[in-house]
Amino acid sequence: MARKRQVKQVRRRTRVRPVRRRRSSTPRLRIPPPASAAGRAAPADSGLAPGMQPVNSYLTVANVAASVEFLEGAFGFTRGVVLADADGQPRYAEMWHRDSVVMLIRKGDATAPTGGMAALYTYVDDVDRALARARQAGAGVEEAEDKPWGDRVATVTDPDGYKWVLATFKKLAPFT
């Protein structure tokens, strides 16, 4: 009987109580996504491209056009920038859902920063400094380079094998 009493006392003392969060007096604003990637200004010196989020999905797909159609029909995504190859087939597309973007590239596309592999496209304030930190932390890294679309990018492979494209926005470049 004494043992049951001790267990009850321990349970009372170690009971986890839910934390109550205070409501902010400042209302949260819902900002609709831009009609295009150039629709929203990025904070100065953030490294963030206009209209993009700090971390974006960078998916590889067998058929960019079919994936665009699917995301529109199934989930209500809207098209952003879509780039075609010489044959007129989409090779890159930005698909918007509220404030989020999913970038689509063809599997195996050697012109993509990851060589056509899925990744997380992550904007940082200074790609070279972030690359040095990743290297020091033991990640596999590829050297940074300026890309024609206006970002300076480097690909990092984390200890679990995931690809991260670190990018710093440098200039607006025409999509061709």
Q: Which pLDDT does position 106 carry in this prediction?
A: 92
Domain 51-176 has CATH 3.10.180.10: yes
Q: Which distant-in-sequence residues (6+ apart) come within 8 Å of 153 by Cβ?
A: 113, 127, 144, 145, 147, 165, 166, 167, 168
Q: Extract the residue ranges of the chain whose pLDDT is less than 50.
A: 7, 10-11, 14-40
Provide the pLDDT for residue 2.
Answer: 56
4: which 2 tokens? 């049951």
Whole-number pLDDT of residue 56: 83
Q: Which residues 6+ apart lie within 8 Å of 128 measured at CB? A: 144, 152, 154
Alpha-carbon span 124 to 168, nearest angstrom: 6
Residue 168 tokens, joined = 């710093």
Provide the b/e sequence for 113-125 (b: ≥16 CB within 10 Å).
bbeebebebbbbe
- pTM confidence score: 0.62
- Range list of β-strands (E), the chain: 55-61, 78-84, 90-97, 100-106, 119-123, 140-141, 145-146, 151-157, 163-169
Domain extent listing, the chain? 51-176
